[in-house]
Structure 1
């Protein structure tokens, strides 16, 4: 049933019910029901029949409105991601390429200069920017219905690129996540895995997404060396703070725990137990 048909039915049904009732009342029920009692009965009967018939139409109408709102939100997010990816490519990536060209010229002009560390840092920044462009474009190119497949593809690419084994278990229906939750969760997973690759020295990562009373729970566990002190107090913890803010925007809580030589990052929305950061001396 189309949006236009629903609107017309909502307008027509009350009038049609009133007309049918009045015709039946005057043609067949006058010997049984007095005119005065019939006048009292008319609004009650029309209200009851109208509510019965229109209740489902209103429900369908509200569902269509909600789906339309979600579709608009998704399109807005995808357009913004495409814009960011384009700006990253046309701005920062091109600037980094120009810097690498100038660095090569410096190396030719001053062959004895120690530019190895500068070159390594520049390459690392360039790789990070290219990965960011890839992440943004990947997230905006696939519809939300294949979010889980997109996630599994990213896990496979991570394993191939880093050699770190990834075990994943997703026991949550995609329909329970809003478009914004899918985007923010995917971004948090990417950031967490990037930190693991850069800092932990882990050989294996477990990623579990499951439902819990009133919400969901994401757990990312690695067998790396852990944190040293408060991870959020480090001057290099910008990525962690971004993850914390992303979690807050979708009504979730981010926390860390360290148990049995493994570090857990937990992002949880609503019910269930939430991990509490503990002062383990061997944290990363």
Structure 2
């Protein structure tokens, strides 16, 4: 019996083993390649959705995810996300609508409050301060005087023989006269001063930081402005004059009402002087300024 060399005997086995290894390696590489391709194809929609979601958060014009293909599970996930985003969009729109409506209501509320405040603070005929609002400003000016010892004056103006205007031209003409006189009085004072209609044909003026000479000068300027004015109403030309009484704060005035009463007494002095003049009430005597022709 002849024997073959070992190398020859095992050559066929080695060849077979090598073939098996090569085939195994090839199959493994092919499996890896297929797995990679499958994973890539499966992950592509996920990456696309991730990119779209990232863009959705950055681009205000983009409000919805696009439709994605892929497996049934991925399709259902995409549809669910789109539905969720749609619901979020509806909720955001509703929230924006409610916020806008709330802002409009708030603005309207503040406007109505401001309108009511103006109505409560002003005289409806002239648009000037009414008595209540004027006294609030006057009390504040009184506190300022008490703290800082600043001068404070009050003027009380009254349209002379106003009943004659109503009797001669009618009440609508009288209302126009009151409006125009109020306008002239307000135009003749400084921005820090306050003019109010106390009722009828009577006006009260608060002058901050005004001594007797300054108050007298302002009062005289207002008197002359009214005297020179021609008031037109329904084809009529109406002329009127005013008398003014004034007073400057003193240590004897316990409150603003006391100062107004002194100015009111000075007004009666001006009327008794023949009207169309200014009278200032001091702590000693009232010193009227006679009519300047």
TM-score (norm 1): 0.25
More helix, by proportion: 1
Larger radius of gyration: 2
TM-score (norm 2): 0.25
